[in-house]
Amino acid sequence: MFVDFFYSLKKAGIPVSPTSFLRLQRALGLGLINSIDDFYTSARAILVKSERYFDLYDQIFAHKFQGTEFKDPTELELSKSPRLSLQNG
């Protein structure tokens, strides 16, 4: 489960390192993380080194642990008015 989460972060473009993943595993093993909220906060603090990836981390976390749909950030859905503006140039 956690390995899949790690690889999902990497696949999405978040530069997580194996060392960071092992550090997170150690925190879990020591019993420092006791809830899903603790895991969310700890994993984000340990794995994500730049705040520019926080939104992407949140989306992947919600997808993996809360069952929400993950939308590829490269596939933007435009509402009707921006789409018409782009088409009319």
- Output the DSSP codes for 52-83: GGHHHHHHHHHHHHH-PPPPPTTSPPP-HHHH
Indicate if the alpha-carbon torsion angle 57, 49, 13, 9 is positive or negative. Answer: negative
Against a cut of 0.85, is the pTM above it?
A: no
Residue 70 and residue 36 in contact, taking contact as beta carbons nearer than 8 Å? no
| Phi and psi torsions of 15, nearest 5° | -80, 80
Q: How confident is the model at residue 2 (pLDDT cuts 50, 70, 90)?
A: confident
Higher-pLDDT residue of 2 and 44 is: 44
Q: How confident is the model at residue 26 (pLDDT cuts 50, 70, 90)?
A: very high
Amino acid at the residue 12: A
